[in-house]
A and B are shown apart, each in its own frame.
Chain A
Amino acid sequence: MSESSEFAEDLHRKILETEAGRDLPRCFACGTCSSGCPVHEQRPEFDPRKIIRSVLMGLESELFDSGVIWLCSTCYTCLERCPQEVGCAQIITELRNAAAADGRAPEAFRMQMEALRQFGRVYEIEDFDNRRRQKMGLAVLDSHANIEPLLTDEREGE
């Protein structure tokens, strides 16, 4: 077996084992997810029904290569309307996690993670922010919230 097909099979198995993955076989491809998707309306290449079919057929690598998984804005309309309670948003989170583990997360995500590791928040709370907070009757916040002990799972994956 070639290295790439081994990667594809391994990935397929892992995705189907997730909670969202176990729901997928319930899909009967009615397309309600795609018809209600606001992103699909603007960008036909982002097609939730096709994404679900692709995963069921073991074509996750193609989804990674085309980059469509990063077009979902996680509005959950697909899940809300799905008659089989499958939806597409949660499986896309799983696909994104797998793509990121393979080093394929968009640059913007990597930058935000860096800020989170450094400050525990998306932005650093500076003196200016704290002066405003005091005027509002709020306490002064430390510029850095310590989330370090909670990142163990991340270290395991490295």
Chain B
Amino acid sequence: MDYAYYPGCSLESTGVSYHKSIVEVFRALGLGLHEIEDWNCCGATAYMSVKETVSFAISARNLAIAERMGKGDIVAPCSACYLVLAKTRRFLMERPELKSKVDEALAAAGLTLKCKCAVRHPLEVLVSDLGIEAIAAKAKRRLTGHRYACYYGCQMVRPERYFEEDREFPMAMDDLMAALGAEEVEFPLKVRCCGASQMVTNEEVGLDLVQSLLECAHARGASAIVTTCPMCQYNLELYQDKISSRAGKDLHIPVLYFTQPLGLALGCDPQALGLQHHTVPLPQEALILEEV
């Protein structure tokens, strides 16, 4: 199976371990990832807030290049990119007026767009196209003793409806981790907002939101939080010193991408999965896993 790959800006900077682990995991599972040539910003944050029509136009450029490459559906690991690309595609299919305006802009860039390639999140791709059982069958190691709080955040489950999951209580990642041998952790805040770009524009609001998530993960006895989005991961990991000192208690906990424990189970090298890049690392003993 082949896919067009849209890494997005975050995966080239703060989310580099997500970038590495996705490439590694897709390779280990025998799935082809073909990066969209010369991709640009998805149009999230700034343009969406400042001038949404421009965000649709620059987003559409990525959709058009992926379509020209003809490698299949687009895999977008960042939840914000995923949402903006998927929303752009839906709006362009539903609103002919917007479509003709964007088509004009695309024509100036020598591109055309028929909206043929669906936009999908890698978690959904793995769970739907391969299936949890087939993935678990390829595992070389068991995640025994790992207790993951599976955190889905907002934009992967809301508001677009392409992920056939309960949007208030998704289970795909929990089920995948359990199939790989991890202990299940009930994490009721699994779809509650991490604060997103509030950390830049209104830091105190962002810190409050992240603190409630870290407190919940600790209260539930998680050994790590597992995420599906580079912004969630960044917010949850990088402010732990500050949040621990304002809360007056130690709230440190490793925050991983779901592709990292999955990669460990598939027998990938921890360095190739980018585990060395984290500021709150997984303890060394957590990397010693029993063979299947």
Contacts and interface: CB of A to CB of B under 8 A. Distances in A.
Contacts of B168: 80
B205 A71 contact: yes
A153 B53 contact: yes
A106 B201 contact: yes
Nearest to A109: B46
Interface string A137-158: 1110110011101111110010
Nearest to B213: A38
Contact of A122 (B9, B159, B208): B9
A86 to B, nearest CB: 12
Given A38-B193, A73-B195, A108-B200, A121 B154 contact: no
B47 A73 contact: no
B54 A151 contact: yes
B23 A137 contact: yes
Contact of B108 (A76, A141, A149): A149
Interface in A92-131: 93-94, 96-97, 100-101, 105-106, 108-109, 112-113, 116, 120-123, 125, 129
A90 B285 CA distance: 46
A157 B51 contact: yes
B58 interface: yes
B159 A76 contact: yes
A132 to B, nearest CB: 7
Nearest to B59: A150
B45 interface: yes
> Residue among A75, A105, A113, A142 with the most chain B CB within 10 A?
A75
Q: Binding site of B, secondary structure by majority: helix, strand, loop or mixed?
A: helix
Nearest to A39: B205
Nearest to B199: A73
Interface in A38-58: 38-39, 42-43
Interface in B195-215: 195-198, 200-202, 205-206, 208-209
Contacts of A129: 12
Contact of B41 (A87, A89, A120, A141): A120
A123 B60 CA distance: 20
Given A100-B49, A108-B200, A138 B106 contact: no
A115 B255 CA distance: 28
Interface in B33-49: 35, 37-41, 45-49
A70 interface: yes
A138 B35 contact: yes
A80 B158 contact: yes
B247 to A, nearest CB: 14
A146 B205 CA distance: 35
B34 to A, nearest CB: 10
A112 B58 CA distance: 15
Contact of A93 (B49, B60, B61, B104): B49
Contact of B51 (A87, A100, A145): A100
A1 interface: no
A56 to B, nearest CB: 21
Contacts of A105: 49-50
Interface in B155-208: 155, 158-159, 167-168, 192-193, 195-198, 200-202, 205-206, 208
CB-CB nearest 3 A-B residue pairs: A75-B193, A145-B40, A75-B154
Given A125-B12, A146-B109, A152-B108, 5 more contacts: A73-B205, A75-B193, A94-B52, A152-B105, A153-B105
11 contacts: A73-B206, A73-B209, A76-B154, A76-B159, A93-B52, A100-B49, A100-B51, A123-B13, A153-B53, A153-B57, A153-B105
Interface of B: 9-10, 12-13, 16, 19-20, 23, 35, 37-41, 45-54, 57-58, 60-61, 101, 104-106, 108-109, 154-155, 158-159, 167-168, 192-193, 195-198, 200-202, 205-206, 208-209
Interface of A: 38-39, 42-43, 70-71, 73-77, 79-80, 87, 89, 93-94, 96-97, 100-101, 105-106, 108-109, 112-113, 116, 120-123, 125, 129, 132, 136-139, 141-142, 145-147, 149-154, 157
